[in-house]
Amino acid sequence: MPPAQSIPFWQSLTVSSTKSLGIVAIIALVVLYSLPWLHKQRLLASIPAIGPTNPISFYRFRTSTFHANARAIVEEAARKHRIFRVPQVYGWHIVVSEKQYIDDLRKAPDDYATFSDAMEEMMLVRYLLGPTLNKNHYTTEIIKHQLARNLPNLFPDIREETLVAVENKIPLTEDWIKLPAYGIVVQIIAQITNRILVGVPLCRNKDFLNLNIGFTMEVNTGKRKLQQYPDLLRPLVAKYFTSVPQRIEQALQFLRPFIEEKEQKLKDYGKDYPDKAETFLSWIVDEAQGEERSPIKLTNRILMLNFGAIHTSSSTFTHALYELAARPQYIPALREEVETVVKRYGWSKMALIHMNKLDSLFKETQRLNGHGCLSVTRMALKEFIFSDGTRIPKGTIMSAASAIPHLNDEVYPDPKTFDPFRFAKIREKEGQGTSNQFVATNNDYLAFGHGKHACPGRFFAANELKLMMAHIISTYDIKLEQDGVKPPNQWFGLSCMPNPRGSILFRRRRD
Ligand code: HEM
């Protein structure tokens, strides 16, 4: 018999065996792709869930019950559990309530967990403003170093802009005049912030300021739209069905001439060119590398800084204004402090450092009226293991419940009472230390986050807010529509803002 001829494997397959192999391959692929998902579900299952875990009830609970009562639900859960999970659009969000866990979050190295990746996932910025914002953090470094270092030199600019903006928005009348609190505060803050971001004349351009004020809302609306579509369609939805690309284009029209002028001077004279304005725009034109140098990328950076700075600062200021107007008995002590300190140090950054009562007013304001019930938010970039061994799957967002430390009666006696000078009194006892300053962060005070990614803009924000309040109380009398009744805070799911419909009455100071 002739020896059996060896034929290639695939030629020996019949149609039915090819089909079976195909099915096996598909099953293998499904299993392969499901394994990480199953692993994730298994790790999450060991953490107490707030609300139902089956997909249909999860959706209903998240959009109705949880959204309407998020703060109460989170605070109650945080008193019961050291760690738990709450439902969000992007999946389960891990919340921790004990110091040990907060420490783990704040210490996490950048290859384990970052704030910016969590923001990226929550805001879907890569579709709205492009992918590089979250990949390159050079602007955060500029805020940390260049902006912080330059604050004393920038003080005269911040003060000048404060006087111009306040005079423009709050008429100095003999009789009480009622103004929408958040509405005027956001306009003033946008102008002062942009004095530092882009300088004069753009910081006084009403259309440019309104564009930046509205941009936050437009990004939020865009994000909500994107969340309804799968990843694959999101670039198209972002481009054609949100207003963000149009707004970026408009911002570019405003900024382009200034960017081009700065680039030309940089080319002709180097970084230290004559009459250089110390603004954020000049610094980013100096520092941006590669594709980040394009006018559109520089524009996106200015938009995102406005996004991070305007509404956070405006909310804090409006809360403080409401709190103070509700307790006018504290105003004389604040005025006296401002006058004494300014007599000694003039209007300067040094004077602001010595306004301890004013500093305390803002710190207490944020202790009781933060921007929401969560802080120190991070995304796990690898499997994240807390120090007690609890494992959190890669890609999960984690935060600390800020109400637990902020209402801890061992740290803050009578914690629910608003005591504007609470921190000033502690500092008086302890000497002029820094650990209870407005800008100080620790496990008991999370309003600016904590750790490596604690807000780098807080030093600028503290200067801006204190200067603005010092000027307003020195110039005006203030009161609420209803004596002593602060307009209630407004909650949207996990976020809090001062009442946007509340008013403040102003008149020329009489005493
Ligand atoms: C009262 C005003 C402000 C509040 C309450 C606030 C609050 C916060 C919070 C809670 C975080 C997250 C920190 C963490 O999770 O550890 C943060 C991050 C950040 N903030 Fe602020 N912020 C304010 C003003 C500003 C301003 C004026 C700027 C810019 C000039 C700014 C720029 C940033 C940036 C770039 C980050 C991200 C830091 C990082 O990823 O490392 N913020 N802010």
- Interface ipTM above 0.90: yes
Q: Is the pLDDT of residue 9 over 50?
A: yes
Residue 251: per-residue pLDDT = 98
**pLDDT tens for each residue of 273-283:** 888 889 999 99
CB-based contact 286:271 (threshold 8 Å) = yes
Alpha-carbon distance of 493 to 247, in angstroms, equals 27
Does 511 score more than 90 pLDDT?
no
Say what the pLDDT of residue 1 is. 44
Nearest protein CA to atom 9 of ligand 1, as residue: 448
d(CA 494, CA 511): 42
Of 16-30, 196-210, 367-381, 489-503, the one with minimum mean pLDDT is 16-30
Q: Are 357 and 420 in contact (CB under 8 A)?
A: yes
For residue 120, pLDDT over 70 is answered with: yes
CA–CA dist 510, 430 (Å, integer): 36
Which of 370, 325, 361 minimizes the C-alpha distance to 181?
325
Q: Round to whole Å and give the CA distance between 154 and 460.
A: 10
Question: Can you tell me which residue has the tokens 């009744």?
Answer: 485
Per-domain residue ranges of the chain: 47-508
The predicted model gives 481-497 an average pLDDT of 95
Find the 457 Cα to ligand 1 centroid distance in Å: 6
Q: Verify whether ligand 1 is closer than 6 Å to residue 349 (CB atom).
A: no
pLDDT tens-digit map of 204-240: 999 999 999 999 999 999 999 999 999 999 999 999 9
Mean pLDDT of 354-368: 98
In terms of Cα–Cα distance, which of 268, 260, 267, 220 is closest to 244? 220
Evaluate: CB of 140 within 6 angstroms of ligand 1. Answer: yes
pLDDT tens string 177-214: 999 999 999 999 999 999 999 999 999 999 999 999 99
For residue 140, give the ligand 1 atom closest to its CA: 35
CA quadruple 435, 440, 442, 446: dihedral sign: positive
CA dist 192 and 203 (Å) reads 7
Sole residue written with tokens 């330059």: 150
- Mean pLDDT, range 62-89, rounded to an integer: 93
Of the candidate ranges 11-15, 180-184, 430-434, the one whose mean pLDDT is the lowest: 11-15
pLDDT attached to residue 6: 56
Q: Are 246 and 197 in contact (CB under 8 A)?
A: no
Beta strand 503-508 pairing with 177-180 = antiparallel
Give residue 122 CA to ligand 1 midpoint distance, Å. 15
455 is in an annotated binding site: yes
> With 50 as the cut, is the pLDDT of residue 244 above it?
yes
Ligand 1 centre and the CA of 196: distance in Å?
16
The encoded tokens of residue 235 equal 């670039």
> How confident is the model over 274-301, as a mean pLDDT?
94
User: On the CB side of 404, how many CA atoms lie within 13 Å of its CA?
Assistant: 25
Band the pLDDT of 37: cuts 50, 70, 90. confident
| Long-range Cβ contacts of 339-343 (<8 Å, 24+ apart) | 339/474, 342/470
Reported CATH class of domain 47-508: mainly alpha
pLDDT of residue 271 exceeding 70: yes
pLDDT digits (tens, 9 = 90+) for 86-97: 999 999 999 999
Residue 2 pLDDT: 47
DSSP H or E segment with residue 234 = helix 234-241
Predicted confidence band at 125 (pLDDT cuts at 50, 70, 90)? very high
* Atom in ligand 1 nearest the alpha carbon of residue 461: 27
